Amino acid sequence: MAFQKVPAGNGLQWITEAVNLIMKNPAPFLLMGLVLGVISMLPIIGGLALLVLGPALYGGVMFAASEEQAGRKADFQHLFQAFKEPGKLPKLLMLCLPAVAAAVILAVLGAILLGGAMLGAGMAASANSSAGLAAFGAGAFVFFLLALAIGIVSYSLTFFATPRVMLESAEPIEAMKDSARAVLANIGPVLVYVGILLLVFLVAGGILSFIPVIGTLALMVVVTPVVCVASYLAWRQVYRQDITREIPPATPPGPPPSVEL
């Protein structure tokens, strides 16, 4: 399916329109955010669950957004819509592959770069403490840059693919390839969108960090639905889903029926 290029300022529009859509019927979206937030906070198992099932659950939030925008009411049960539609769950599960691959690669790189940096820092510290800190800092900086690059690639593969697979029943592999191309073509609005979300996380997260556990959960309850709905709206716009389909011309009327006398 063809995509279009949109202005950079549309990245902000995706977020503001997502908030407006959620505020029309906030209860189910906030409840979905609560469930996803609780899952994410479960030690070890929560992160693994979202790593694998995340695309299916986020797709459920997007389905709820599509229902709300179409004039039908979003419902909490829409969170599990992918589990109800035949053949939809396996396709969405395939979208976890970029995140799983990224996690494995980062674990290996972390062991090599950070582990090696710590070892080098320890050896250097025995002779010069400043040299030890510099060695560790260099390793951490390289790891950060690589992690950022890997995260961007992984996110670009699923940003548009998740709503396409959930709402268009697109094939996952092709959807991921096409998503990367669409993100590259719309790198301006995507960077604006991601930058705003990061700023919100930093500011709100810093404030709510003074409230242990509850503060983090509250942030997830609000931000998670906004992120999912904004991604859905981005897909609608970039893939021209907001353009009204052309109405076919009306069939010309036939001759009037003959009346027998």
- Tens of pLDDT, residue by residue over 128-140, are 556 556 666 777 7
Pick the most confident of 20-29, 101-110, 205-214: 20-29
Structure tokens belonging to residue 223: 């931000």
Question: Sign of the CA dihedral 164, 180, 98, 195?
Answer: negative
Q: What is the dihedral of CA 151, 177, 186, 143, to 10 degrees?
A: 20
Q: What is the DSSP string of 23-42?
A: HHSHHHHHHHHHHHHHHHHS
The whole-number pLDDT of residue 247 equals 35
Q: How far apart are the first and last CA of the chain?
A: 58
The whole-number pLDDT of residue 144 equals 86
pTM assigned to the model: 0.83
Which range among 26-35, 126-135, 232-241 shows the weakest confidence by mean pLDDT?
126-135
What span, in angstroms and rounded, lies between the C-alpha atoms of 225 and 76? 12
Question: Sign of the CA dihedral 101, 104, 109, 112?
Answer: negative
The whole-number pLDDT of residue 199 equals 93
The whole-number pLDDT of residue 124 equals 53
Q: Which pLDDT tens digit goes with each residue over 34-62?
A: 999 999 999 989 999 999 999 999 999 99
CB 130 within 8 A of CB 93: no
